[in-house]
Amino acid sequence: MRTLLRGGRVIDPATGFDGTADVLVSGGVVTAVGEALTAEPGDVEIDVSGLVVGPGFIDLHSHVHTIAGQRLQAMDGVTTALDLEAGLMPIERAYAEAAAAGRPLHYGFSASWGAARAQVLAGIEPDANIDSGLSVLGNPAWQRTSSPKELAAWLSLVDGELAAGALGVGVLLGYAPDTDPGEFLALARLAKEAGAPTYTHVRELVEVNPETPIDGSAEIAIVAAETGAAMHHCHVNSTSGHQIERVLGALEAGRAAGSRVTVEAYPYGAGSTGIGAAFLSPERLKMKGLSPSSVIMLESGERIADEGRLLQVRAEDPGAPCILEFLDESSPHDLGLLRQALAFPDAIVASDALPVYWKNGTSESTEWPLPPGGATHPRTAGTYAKTLRLMVRESKAWTWLEAFRRCSYLPARVLDEVAPGALAKGRLNVGADADIVVIDPHTITDAATYFDSTRPSVGVRHLFVSGVPVVTDGNLRTDAFPGKPLRGEPR
């Protein structure tokens, strides 16, 4: 069956095209783009006049791993959702379980640096599960520096995961911030040899912790320059906070000197992780200029009252998801810092989406709309629509062409070297994968809030994944599971 999108404003960030055209899709591929294309009997014609048509968004940083979470992301314009910052291990199990359950969106995973270290340093067997991974984050046994023998052992595990199809290496360095910088250098050398990117949650900044072994954002540029590895700096907004201007300046200087560093950001002033994370200890919060009351438990909505309560919940359930407020979005100054991160040249939009958690302990549902009572970070449902609202609709800082470059084209290019399957993504010309989003430019907006976090975004009128409709006329198709794995191809 062929689908003809008729008369939309077509955006192709690969060629710079921005104009009125028809788009013809057949067999999961874009087969024609032009004016007044001829329909054949049996074609499905959709009038998209007045709407913006572009390549679906590619999220390099999504931890949802569920149908429920991917459906929220579909309503936000995402067609490919990848967990690259943390990754999963064993990689073969991660891909097999996603395929068995079915996915509305394309999916993929990096090799997990944290899981490999936890297996070698703490004897914790990985099970390719995000919740198990969260529970390990606060365990000090894996956070120490490795012996030479241990370093060789977990590097070998990572190398094996790359050979099995991982999309690079996810490095949660901020969760083990006191490790020897030589380990990160050794990992980058391995990644360079494998032709695979790294995706790093950097260690703390020197302003936050003057005793850090090395400033987090300086480290990634230095290591990229020394090894030639392609290194991706995850959520620069949340790891930099009020130091964003200094960090972006340092990253720009490193890139100008030849470091292969890419940068991502999301449009929220609060992050989310497991309560046991090293940087959420009372001492680390003070270093950031924050307090226990900056932490909100995700499932219960409890705002942590004091240091004693923070220590209690960290000890009782270190994997419990929480929200950490690092910028005040009601402050014009802080909102300006947030927009500055998004506006940084070639910064990629990525969500850091989390699973939806219900009070009965589940994080999956095939019901739609989602059952009431689910909680997540609003970035799961609203990252891309909020970015478009802030950067295109309200501030006009980006054109639509630039928006699709940041949300679709540039993230695909991060993957080209490790995954040739990404070459046909992030573009809307003949031969491109038929991963397409159709947006109402006048109504696109986020609807999720911190305490009503599963409200789907508004304004995504149609979404196609491999040419299969997942959203039609603004409504999710509950029978659509066209997602396919995107895998690395080892050299």
Parallel, antiparallel, or unpaired for β 231-233 and 44-47?
A: unpaired
Give the pLDDT score at 261. 97
Average pLDDT over residues 162-171: 98
Query: For helices 216-227 and 244-256, what crossing angle results, to 10°?
Result: 10
Do residues 86 and 108 lie in contact, with contact meaning Cβ atoms separated by under 8 Å?
no
Lowest mean pLDDT among 83-87, 298-302, 406-410, 485-489: 298-302
Please give the DSSP secondary-structure letter assigned to residue 408: I
Give the pLDDT score at 429. 98
CA-CA distance, 180 to 177, in Å (whole number)?
9
Reported as a single tens digit per residue, the pLDDT across 433-483 is 999 999 999 999 999 998 899 999 999 999 999 999 999 999 999 999 999
Reported as a single tens digit per residue, the pLDDT across 76-105 is 999 999 999 999 999 999 999 999 999 999
CA-CA distance, 340 to 404, in Å (whole number)?
18
Q: Is the pLDDT of residue 491 over 80?
A: no
Percent of the chain with pLDDT over 70: 100
CA-CA distance, 195 to 94, in Å (whole number)?
22
Residue 330: which pLDDT band, with cuts at 50, 70 and 90? Answer: confident
Give the pLDDT score at 66. 97
Give the pLDDT score at 300. 86
Average pLDDT over residues 7-16: 98
Reported as a single tens digit per residue, the pLDDT across 256-274 is 999 999 999 999 999 888 9
Angle at 425 between CA 419 and CA 430, to 5 degrees: 125
Residue 138: which pLDDT band, with cuts at 50, 70 and 90? Answer: confident
Q: Is the pLDDT of residue 384 over 80?
A: yes
What pTM value is reported for the model?
Answer: 0.95
User: Structural domains in the chain?
Assistant: 2-55+421-476 (2.30.40.10), 57-418 (3.20.20.140)
Question: Beta partners for 458?
Answer: 445
Question: Beta partners for 370?
Answer: none
Q: Is the pLDDT of residue 227 over 90?
A: yes
Reported as a single tens digit per residue, the pLDDT across 51-67 is 999 999 999 999 999 99
What DSSP string describes 137-175?
TT-GGGSSPPPHHHHHHHHHHHHHHHHTT--SEEE-GGG
Helices H / strands E in the chain, number of each: 15, 21
